[in-house]
Structure 1
């Protein structure tokens, strides 16, 4: 799929893989802006349940606008393939940060990071969205220690 064009986006390199999809670093060709493009794996193209989950992730992210939650820019259904076009977050997964640390992380740093993570989850909960897959690998820590919550693939929208 590398060098494939989806809408105005070009897929450049693989930056992640999961159970439902592959995430590519992409580029908006007209704006010259980096994006992350999550592509549903081809083996799920005709699986209605998996496609619905992927579409649910797009709908869920479209309801969220918070500095600690990855932003959805666009969604595409092209040639029976589904694509989520999202903010590219340049950083390190929190699980990797934790693995690489030698000794305790200073309390002040931990508190600042987790306050922001909790702010993102509190915002999502106020919008009636429960993430349901909270783990360090679903949080990217940017170089300035700003965390971004990713992967709302199994999130649930709670009405009420």
Structure 2
């Protein structure tokens, strides 16, 4: 499956008949590495994500991530340039070639501003948040949910266009649970695949008779908006202190009062972070509210000093 790959010489590789130079390592996670490459054919920089597959289940998960990327050609979803799965002795590696964004993630930007004791202006928040929401709408429209939305999974281009990435946790938007075994299985899956401080309340204790839908992403969207406004996620400190996030998310988070942002933006944030998923809006409603907010912002200064 995918494109051909060969290691031509030290520091050089070929994917789909195009040569790339290894520049440096960018980072690593539990089972993956990201390297910076330069395309010999075009001089552009790329990020090569290498996923280590220790068994057939790992390989299946890696192929799933590739398939999810291939579903989309959207300006707010990171595109997959090329891919392959290669055998490494008894193990496998899945290689995903992705565009490189030098500015890094939304979380990098939030940290940068926080270090300067500065905050993101409302107009910029609305611009970035609309792009994230449009990418999410594309995912929901195809019947899927992202399930691991967070600032570190949003890249920023040079012109502040957000790109959703890390699609490996995506699955069907609506999951029907009919017994306790299914409930426990989904709960365990969420514990492994959904970042705890951005995980929706209904995924911590899954009921034995319920439908989990794409509004888990709306909760995470609210957490992202909170992070852009206040410099950290609403449950980041809870997690860092070792307190129970599962318990904390069962109560509505108090939104700090600030003259920095409009009341309308605060109202939008409150509407996303509703504990009961049935009372949360769907993504078209969010985009409609953002359109109205931007109309107001274009007519008057909504950012407070």
Could you state the TM-score of these two structures normalised by the residue count of structure 1?
Answer: 0.86
- Provide the residue aligned with 2:73 in structure 1: 65
Change (3 A) 1:103 1:88: closer
Bigger strand fraction: 1
> What is the CA-CA distance between 1:74 and the residue it aligns to?
1.1
Within 2, Cα distance between the matches of 1:116 and 1:75? Answer: 26
Within 2, Cα distance between the matches of 1:6 and 1:79? Answer: 16
Within 1, Cα distance between the matches of 2:173 and 2:112? Answer: 37
31-40 vs 132-141, greater mean Cα deviation: 31-40
2:16 maps to 1:5: no
2:106 maps to 1:91: no
Structure 1: state its 5+ residue gaps: none
> What is the CA-CA distance between 1:158 and the residue it aligns to?
4.9
Change (3 A) 1:33 1:99: closer
> What is the CA-CA distance between 1:31 and the residue it aligns to?
3.2
> What is the CA-CA distance between 1:134 and the residue it aligns to?
0.5
Tell me the secondary structure at the aligned position of residue 81 of structure 2: strand
**Which residue among 80, 92, 112 is the counterpart of 1:100?**
112
Within 1, Cα distance between the matches of 2:43 and 2:120? Answer: 37
Using CA pairs under 8 Å that are at least 6 residues apart, name the structure with larger relative contact order, 1 or 2.
Answer: 1
- Provide the residue aligned with 1:115 in structure 2: 130
- When Rg is computed on C-alpha atoms for both structures, the one with the higher figure is 2
Bigger helix fraction: 2
Within 1, Cα distance between the matches of 2:21 and 2:84? Answer: 13
> What is the CA-CA distance between 1:4 and the residue it aligns to?
4.7
Within 1, Cα distance between the matches of 2:86 and 2:22? Answer: 14
Could you state the TM-score of these two structures normalised by the residue count of structure 2?
Answer: 0.47
Within 1, Cα distance between the matches of 2:102 and 2:143? Answer: 28
> What is the CA-CA distance between 1:120 and the residue it aligns to?
0.6
Structure 2: state its 5+ residue gaps: 1-6, 175-305
**RMSD (Å), alpha carbons:** 2.1
Residues matched between the structures, number: 156
Tell me the secondary structure at the aligned position of residue 83 of structure 2: strand
Within 2, Cα distance between the matches of 1:112 and 1:84? Answer: 28
- Provide the residue aligned with 1:144 in structure 2: 159
Within 2, Cα distance between the matches of 1:20 and 1:112? Answer: 33
